[in-house]
Amino acid sequence: MTNHLLTVHHLGHSQSERIVWLCEELGLEYELKRYERRADNRLAPPEYQALHPMGTAPVITDGPLVLGESAAIVEYLIEVHGNGRLAVKKDEPGFADYLYWFHFANGTLQPLVLQVWFLERVDPSGENATLQRLKERFTLVFSTIEKRLGDARYLAGPELTAADIMTVFSLTTMRRFKPYDLSPWPNILAYLQRIGARPAYRRATQKSDPDMTPLLGATP
């Protein structure tokens, strides 16, 4: 543990909520700086965009270090400040499952939800063949998550890991931007209830977005 204070720069209603939740689960000391989205376009304000060359959330500062990208930040915090907690080590059961679901979150799930959202805004008609193919993939992806959560309590196994912290945003807050119904997926809904009952998750949501009730039910 370094002796300078870790700072989490949180953009309201964004993927940076993952980092606040991780810090709470790990019991880290950190400073939380909140930034509101612009009223005209709902994007990050200039002072947030200036934090990192990419100009997007999340961002942390840790002494002289400025780091972006959810997955990079999560791995950094677990290794540097968390003594490896909430990750599955290579000699532990569920290691491959952990790797798969950790990377599935931003490699498959979140991009797919964004793609469907963007294409629906451009052309929501039934004649949009690309959109129809993506909706079929959407069903496949959510069926895959549903099956996994029928076999395991959390994505990597019986205990919560960083794979869950990476995934939950797409199943909750992202539905404020791209609404979708989780009624067909009862295991996902039960999983979100387990997440919502965690004290660290409750603390994180209250600190990061006190104006927002987490979307843990079937419909936004």
Task: Return d(Cα 48, Cα 19) in angstroms, integer.
Answer: 16
Burial class (CB in 10 A: 0-12, 13-18, 19+), 151: exposed
Rounding to the nearest 10 degrees, give the CA dihedral for residues 75, 87, 145, 180. Answer: -40
What pLDDT is attached to residue 128? 85
CATH code, residues 6-80: 3.40.30.10
CATH code, residues 95-208: 1.20.1050.10
Residues 175-209 have pLDDT tens digits of 999 999 999 999 999 999 999 999 999 999 999 99
Residue 3's pLDDT band, with cuts at 50, 70 and 90, is low
- Which residue ranges make up each domain of the chain? 6-80, 95-208
Residues 123-172 have pLDDT tens digits of 887 788 999 999 999 999 999 999 999 999 999 999 999 999 999 999 99
Residues 46-90 have pLDDT tens digits of 999 999 999 999 999 999 999 999 999 999 999 999 999 999 999
Burial class (CB in 10 A: 0-12, 13-18, 19+), 95: middle
Average per-residue pLDDT for the chain: 95
